[in-house]
């Protein structure tokens, strides 16, 4: 029996190449129907032709010009909606010199910054502006000349109409923002004021917040009080301390202790305050971020939060919601701060604020009472 020969496919040998399919020589066909037409973007001319009016009238009607009759404006808007007209924002920006965009610069985001952004976004959207968001640097440690300033210039290059930003350094001089002012771009600082510049400011009434906490703890019968403040060069922390001290210091029978540190070092500060026999019965923290360290220090001393020791924070950060007992804190209403910043910006852009002197808006914070505070033991 002869050996089986392997079957060779037709393409293995040039001698057995099949004939070409003649249909392959015809022009390439597409799946598109020959009657289908390329969609064309609706423009002003198409709307004008549709209604039998001039392009100038269409343009004025779409832009809300007061010289257009109400009936004509309604016809134009109806036609534009039916034809799915979308305006070319780039061309409009070139012609008007306004991009309808606002640069928003925020540090490394926490839940506080997220609420700020939420308020800014909603207020800008309601006013017909689009935010361009930029996170800058690692929060408070940002290098202003290498990162923050570079990002400010990047937003200027995008031709934003204004900039709302959370500054990493409150002590910057006026010339630091020279290019912003030279381009005539309004600038609003949020949460941290820039007192050495002409930037507008929207933030918290931090002194009121400090007084709010002091009055609350005194009402619970606490007479041995302490405050752990943040970095002394941060004005928001300094204002909270000042409001607290003005309320408690000088009160008959009230003792007061103070320590300040960075957030991550609040544990050692709390241990120093809680170690002695005359330890405080209530501690006010400059920031909620200190609370986990203070809870740990209290636990090491065998103190129960809410009964042996009352603890009150500041900022109402959702990052601390897992703490047990839940932290009493001061809500800064960052959503409202964001909205206030937008109002300051729009007033500058629309000429409602003409004075060069900076304007300032401070939102009144609210005390949120939870289980970490109680009657003095």
Q: What is the pLDDT of residues 46-73, one digit of tens each?
A: 888 888 888 888 778 777 677 788 888 8
Q: Please give the structure tokens belonging to residue 210.
A: 């400090």
Judged on CB neighbours under 10 Å (0-12, 13-18, 19+), 135 is: middle
- Four-way CATH pick for 206-333: 1.10.10.10, 3.30.420.40, 3.30.365.10, 3.40.50.2300: 3.40.50.2300
- Comparing 95-203+335-362 with 206-333, is the CATH topology the same? yes
184 Cβ neighbours under 8 A, 6+ residues apart: none
Other CB atoms within 10 A of residue 273 CB: 20
Q: Which residues contact 145 (CB under 8 A, 6 or more apart)?
A: none
Residue with tokens 């780039």: 90
| Topology (CATH level 3) of domain 95-203+335-362 | Rossmann fold (3.40.50)
Banded model confidence at residue 30, pLDDT cuts 50, 70, 90? very low
Residues 6+ apart with CB under 8 A from 53: 72, 76
Q: Which CATH architecture has domain 44-87?
A: Orthogonal Bundle (1.10)
Q: What percent of the chain has pLDDT over 90?
A: 54
- The tokens describing 305, both together, are 């939060």
The model's pLDDT over 311-329, given as tens digits with 9 standing for 90+, comes to 999 999 999 999 999 999 9
Residue count (the chain): 377
Q: How far apart are CA 295 and CA 373, in angstroms?
A: 12
Query: pLDDT band at 160, cuts 50/70/90?
Result: very high
Give the Cα separation of 290 and 266 in Å (integer). 6
The residues spanned by each domain of the chain are 44-87, 95-203+335-362, 206-333
pTM of the model: 0.76
The residue written with tokens 């996170």 in the block is 135
Mean pLDDT of the chain, nearest integer: 84
The pLDDT, as a whole number, for residue 26 is 44
> Cβ(216)–Cβ(312) under 8 Å?
yes
Nearest to 204 by CA among 315, 343, 317, 318: 315
Q: Let me know: does 106 contact 116? Beta carbons within 8 Å.
A: yes
At residue 13, the pLDDT reads: 43
pLDDT higher than threshold 50 for residue 9: no
- In 3D space, the residue among 186, 113, 132, 170 whose CA is nearest the CA of residue 337 turns out to be 113
235-254 tens-digit pLDDT: 999 999 999 999 999 899 99
């Amino acid at each position: 029996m002869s050996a089986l020969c392997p079957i060779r496919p037709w393409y293995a040998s040039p001698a057995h190449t099949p004939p070409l399919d003649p249909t392959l020589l015809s022009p390439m066909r597409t799946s598109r129907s020959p009657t289908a037409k390329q969609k064309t973007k609706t423009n002003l001319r198409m709307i004008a032709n549709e209604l039998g009016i001039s392009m100038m009238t269409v343009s004025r009607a779409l832009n809300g010009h007061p010289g257009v009759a109400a009936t004509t404006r309604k016809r134009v808007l109806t036609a534009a909606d039916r034809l799915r007209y979308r305006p070319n924002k780039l061309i409009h920006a070139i012609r008007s010199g306004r991009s309808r965009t606002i640069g928003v610069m925020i540090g490394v985001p926490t839940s506080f910054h997220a609420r700020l952004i939420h308020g800014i976004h909603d207020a800008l959207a309601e006013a017909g502006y689009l935010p361009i968001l930029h996170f800058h640097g690692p929060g408070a440690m940002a290098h202003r000349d290498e990162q923050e300033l570079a990002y400010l210039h990047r937003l200027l290059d995008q031709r934003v109409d204004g900039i709302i930003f959370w500054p990493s350094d409150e002590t910057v001089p006026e010339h630091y923002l020279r290019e912003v002012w030279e381009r005539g771009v309004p600038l609003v600082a949020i949460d941290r004021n820039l007192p050495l510049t002409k930037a507008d400011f929207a933030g918290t009434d931090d002194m009121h917040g400090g007084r709010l906490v002091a009055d609350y703890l005194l009402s619970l019968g606490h007479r041995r009080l302490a405050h752990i403040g943040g970095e002394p060069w941060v004005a928001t922390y300094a204002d909270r301390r000042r409001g607290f001290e003005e309320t408690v210091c000088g009160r008959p029978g009230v003792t007061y202790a103070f320590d300040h540190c960075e957030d991550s070092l609040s544990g050692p500060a709390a241990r120093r305050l809680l170690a002695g026999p005359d330890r405080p019965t209530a501690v006010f923290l400059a920031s909620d971020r200190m609370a986990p360290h203070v809870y740990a220090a209290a636990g090491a001393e065998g103190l129960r939060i809410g009964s042996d020791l009352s603890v009150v924070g500041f900022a109402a950060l959702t990052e601390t919601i897992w703490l047990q007992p839940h932290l009493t804190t001061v809500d800064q209403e960052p959503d409202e701060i964001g909205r206030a910043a937008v109002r300051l910006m729009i007033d500058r852009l629309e000429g409602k604020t003409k004075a060069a002197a900076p304007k300032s808006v401070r939102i009144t914070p609210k005390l949120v009472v939870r289980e970490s505070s109680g009657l003095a033991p």
